[in-house]
Amino acid sequence: MNMGEGKTSVIIPMLALSLCSSVSSLVRIVVLKSLFPTNYQSLRFKLGGLLNRRIFSFICRRDMDFNTKQINQIFNRLQQGLRHCDIILISPEDILSFDLLTIDKCRRHEFDTGRSMLTVQRWLKTFARDILDESDEILHCKYQLIYTVGTQQQVDGGMERWRFIQFILNSVKKFALDIIQNYPNDIYYKSPKSKSAFPEFRLLSHRPFPDLSTKIINDWLNKKSYRKIDKQCILSFIFDITTSVDTLINRFLPHDIQLFLIIRGLLSEEVLFVAVKKRYRVNYGINHNSNFNRLMAVPFRAKDVPAERTEFGHPDTALILTQLSYYYHGLNDLQMFQCFNRLNNEEKDPESIYTEWILEENENTIPPNLKQWKGINLKYGEEEIHEIFCILRYNMLLINYFLNYFVFPREAKQFPNKLISSAWDLSSPERTKIITGFSGTNDTQLLLPSHIYQCDLPQLQSTDAIVINNLLQIENENYQNLPSDITTEMILYKITNYESTIHVILDVGALFTDSTNREIAIHWLKLSDKTKIDYAIYFESNCVFVCDRQFHHHSFLSSPASERLDRCVIYLDEVHTRGTDFKFPTGFKAAATLGNGLTKDRFVQACMRMRKLGEGHSLIFWSSDEVHRQIIALKTTLVNQNDTCQLKDILRWVYMNSQQTTWDGLHHWAIQSLSFQRKMNAFRNIQWINHEQTYTEELMKDLAEKCLESEIIELKRMYGVPMIMQTISEIYIMRYQRFNSFVSDAIHNAVLKRIQTYGGLKQRLSQFFEEEQQRELEQESEQEQEQERQQEEEKKCFRSVRPCEPILHDEIKQLCNSDDSQLNLTELPLVFRPLPYAFINSSFFEICQPNSWQPNLWISTEFQRVIEPIEESLDLFLRPPRWLIVYRNEHIIFVNAFEANWLMGQLSSEKELNKSSMTTLRLLLPRLKKNQSTFVNSPALTIPPLLTPTHDILGFSLPINWLIELFIFNGTIYFENIEEQTVYCHCLALCPKSWTTTEEDLFENGSITTDGFVQNLEQRNQLQLYHARFNSNPVIFIKELLKNRNNTYPSITSHIGSIIFNSLKLL
């Protein structure tokens, strides 16, 4: 039935009244979430106010967590509603959520509640009579709800995954201008707000992406130390999607292979392309709703309308779009304070991190007093804080810092399993009552569940033709295209200065993306003629508001504007260009915007907000520059080129978009059918028509187990297998064969016939298509499970761990006695052990190469003893090396604080007795900042102090070769001078860049590995690495030890971080 002919306002209320029966039918009117408030007001007025019929809503979300008592109360209310012929208003999300919550209660062994919910489900399948408004939208395959199940796990690849994405986006910024010069019509680009900010960048077609990918991968490889032959192998794996990761396993380190998989997925499998072609605030963004406590990007249903309680299903898509969202939006003051407080309280070298941020800005934008970290006063410097926040708000490095510490570690998670419910469940064939649905368009009928039949009444079959005929009237032949750098203010200026008055904006193309609805209404009202326009009408939180000339905002229903639409301008955002109904006066003209991907269904729905189209209402079409180019390209291909675009050209464009959208949705629709059949099989023991059946615990356990689907996707399985191009029907058949033990022949045959008929020969990648498509699907995070997991871990970590009681051995005391003969430490293994013993019972002991350390480096056994023995690894309980004894100027012995405290008193008393000592207690700090002292060779800080030595031996300083091994042990990340850097590299047998010609040749022939290690003794001598102590590659050990000592990997801007992670010397 045509739009505006009374489906929602007349037919559905009448039908609901006629179908109500106190003995057989409880009517539920199912409406879209965005239209819920307006529908509720309308039904309450017509059925409640006029006919005294109760209208009540039914809300269900996972966080409600119903108990048995509440479910019984709900059941009683439903039964009461049946007896009194009440009408329920509900959204599809609420129906699906109640279905999944039932299964989830069974899974969690809450059997009483699960049993009650199954009873309610059984009752509803018998008595519920559903009427669907906008049925084509409600039954679309994008309406899918996912409950994640199990303990959250970090995405495979963890920190490397999002740090690599940050590198790639930085490369995008770096090469954007080069790419746009070659593809000026295929890229939307807007210069960044500052030197440190990210530009507005979006790909309008696929043409530039291969060149961009090549530049990114070459930029990355140029920063890596790979041989030429290895680079070719890497490029072959990344760009040839038919190869398997197995070809790399024996050739590269696991960490390197992980990076190859990530970059292959982002570039060759085009996850990056999928992300950067989306529109910020239209297709994705941050949900700022206070009830939504997630910080990662989520799918948007329309401009500024986040899909409630949703997440992106594909981990890399979620990470990229989160990065872009914060790059475009910037950090708010609270988020900036989080970063600065962490920098002040937790970072060991805040100065260097802050300096990195500042160096990214234009020098003349930073006041001199704010160029150094010491100029920032977080407690009292309110003006300075405000000033630096304004400068750094869009700084990419600062945003990366915020995401790396406050967002991704907490939210970039996967779950082992999931429960899925979709439009197929809304229309389950197991229901007793039929479903009735109404819609003004039928473009998506191929994506309806196979057991739903569209019944077109003969007298209404001409509806589509009537709509198109109304659109093609001569008064609608008005077309304007906008430049690429257009803003909201500029569009409104053009609209208000158009040759005839425009009262309505139908922003179905979502071109007003840089302002909120309220801001648009206010600005439009300011620009409009005061003698003709008094009010601006807009939607906010799905409710209609009015702004008057005094810029006061009121509800539309209680405002004089509701009776004076001729004195109003009306802005309808994208989501409200469907299902809303205003009685616009005759003669009104509307501006309809055209945005990327606009389908015929959405286009026609928007245009038909003008109910008298062809009979007093008219349209003018405003397209973005991107859309204009698409229309022109299509026009050039299909008809003769001329100067202007006509309405038929716009219609051709929206029909092409509809065709592509339907094809994209067919595969996901088919895969949904398999998921639905899995659930049908799981419920096969539930006899819905048998109201006497008892739901046993075993039956409920079996139900939940069979409904669970796997969720975790490993990098190797995601990107490491050969990718093949297949048709939709071939992909479906392959998956059907995997799951045919529980499929329904009737559904399978219907699905296969449809995709073979309409899927065509067009091909796409077979793997993980639905994971990409989950960007449109709803997913609720399981917060309760996360809390339970944290509590379990806390109990596990702290309940069973007890600290060791300290012991002071007599042999420790003897170290201070200069009159006794020197102790033979090797003969006292109960008190002194070689330094590598510090790693015993941890993951470091096997990889620290115990025989490679200086033989005069020791620890006390008490230094190693931190907690009472446990079965788990002691990685979390390694003692930081701070206090050491220089014993007779020959041995270094690390001691714990308890031993150091006794030794401090004893050695100090010997100094007071004027006894000279060759044994000193010293403090050793890791050098975590440039120019920081380690104190170990500071004469004033030894105990006893060596300020005025009377003999050379009293001024003993630890030789540099000893110091370097101490620096390795304690997690130092900066050198004092080049000599320290040289000895460090020699000790580890590393030869980092920059290289001489000889070193380049040794690298190419494999004598120097990609991380700089030199294994062969002959090559070590050739490179003058005479003092190398480590026989095997120690880089992995060093990386993990640095992370353990400092709670994070060092920055590659630090001296040691650059050597270990980039194989590059900075001094």
Mean pLDDT of 958-963: 95
Residue 911, pLDDT score: 64
Residue 480, pLDDT score: 94
Mean pLDDT of 55-61: 92
Check whether 564 has a pLDDT greater than 50.
yes
Mean pLDDT of 599-609: 92
Please check whether residue 1030 is in contact with residue 1041, taking contact to mean a CB–CB distance below 8 angstroms: no
Query: At a CB cut-off of 8 Å and minimum separation 6, what does 446 contact?
Result: 662, 666, 669, 754, 758
Check whether 696 has a pLDDT greater than 60.
yes
Kindly indicate the confidence band of residue 999, based on its pLDDT and cuts at 50, 70 and 90. very high
Kindly indicate the confidence band of residue 912, based on its pLDDT and cuts at 50, 70 and 90. low
What is the Cα–Cα distance from 110 to 101, expressed in whole angstroms?
11
Cis peptide before 994 (omega within 30 of 0): yes
What is the Cα–Cα distance from 536 to 776, expressed in whole angstroms?
32
List domains and CATH numbers for the chain. Answer: 7-154+418-458 (3.40.50), 158-330+395-414 (no CATH), 348-393 (no CATH), 478-645 (3.40.50), 803-927 (no CATH)
Residue 948, pLDDT score: 53
Please check whether residue 525 is in contact with residue 569, taking contact to mean a CB–CB distance below 8 angstroms: yes
Residue 313, pLDDT score: 79
What is the Cα–Cα distance from 1020 to 1013, expressed in whole angstroms?
10
524-548 tens-digit pLDDT: 999 999 999 999 999 998 899 999 9
Nearest to 862, CA basis, from 893, 891, 821, 892: 893
Residue 794, pLDDT score: 42
Mean pLDDT of 413-442: 86
Residue 1, pLDDT score: 62
Nearest to 774, CA basis, from 256, 185, 318: 318
Lowest average pLDDT, out of 772-786, 886-900, 998-1012, goes to 772-786
Check whether 145 has a pLDDT greater than 60.
yes
260-289 tens-digit pLDDT: 999 999 999 899 999 999 999 999 999 988
Please check whether residue 644 is in contact with residue 42, taking contact to mean a CB–CB distance below 8 angstroms: no
Prediction pTM value = 0.85
Check whether 1046 has a pLDDT greater than 60.
yes
Cβ count within 10 A of residue 614: 16
Q: pLDDT averaged over the chain? A: 88
Locate all alpha helices (DSSP H) within 683-727, ordered by sequence: 697-707, 715-719
Check whether 470 has a pLDDT greater than 60.
yes
Lowest average pLDDT, out of 80-94, 394-408, 675-689, 940-954, goes to 940-954
Mean pLDDT of 907-922: 74
What is the Cα–Cα distance from 240 to 238, expressed in whole angstroms?
6
Residue 87, pLDDT score: 95
Lowest average pLDDT, out of 843-857, 938-952, 1053-1067, goes to 938-952
335-390 tens-digit pLDDT: 999 999 999 998 888 888 999 999 999 988 899 888 888 888 887 778 888 899 99
Burial 677-710 (b: 16+ CB within 10 A, else e): bbbbbbbeebebeeeeeebeeebbeebbebbbee
Check whether 684 has a pLDDT greater than 60.
yes
Residue 477: both structure tokens together = 């032949």
Check whether 333 has a pLDDT greater than 90.
yes
Helix (H, G, I), strand (E, B) or coil at 623: strand
Residue 290, pLDDT score: 75
Q: Which residue has the tokens 């709803």?
A: 778
Residue 49, pLDDT score: 84
Nearest to 754, CA basis, from 492, 448, 465: 448
Lowest average pLDDT, out of 299-303, 658-662, 963-967, goes to 299-303
What is the Cα–Cα distance from 548 to 216, expressed in whole angstroms?
52
Check whether 786 has a pLDDT greater than 80.
no
Check whether 855 has a pLDDT greater than 70.
yes
16-28 tens-digit pLDDT: 999 998 888 999 9
Residue 916, pLDDT score: 58
Mean pLDDT of 591-609: 93
Cis peptide before 944 (omega within 30 of 0): yes
Please check whether residue 271 is in contact with residue 772, taking contact to mean a CB–CB distance below 8 angstroms: yes
What is the Cα–Cα distance from 629 to 652, expressed in whole angstroms?
14
What is the Cα–Cα distance from 739 to 733, expressed in whole angstroms?
10
DSSP 848: S
Bigger pLDDT: 161 or 640?
161
Kindly indicate the confidence band of residue 781, based on its pLDDT and cuts at 50, 70 and 90. very low
Helix (H) or strand (E) holding 90: strand 87-90
Q: Which residue has the tokens 């380690």?
A: 934
Taking phi over 0 as left and psi of -120 to 50 as alpha, with beta for the rest, 90 belongs to beta
Q: Which residue has the tokens 């945003």?
A: 399
Nearest to 682, CA basis, from 421, 877, 314, 336: 421
571-582 tens-digit pLDDT: 999 999 988 889
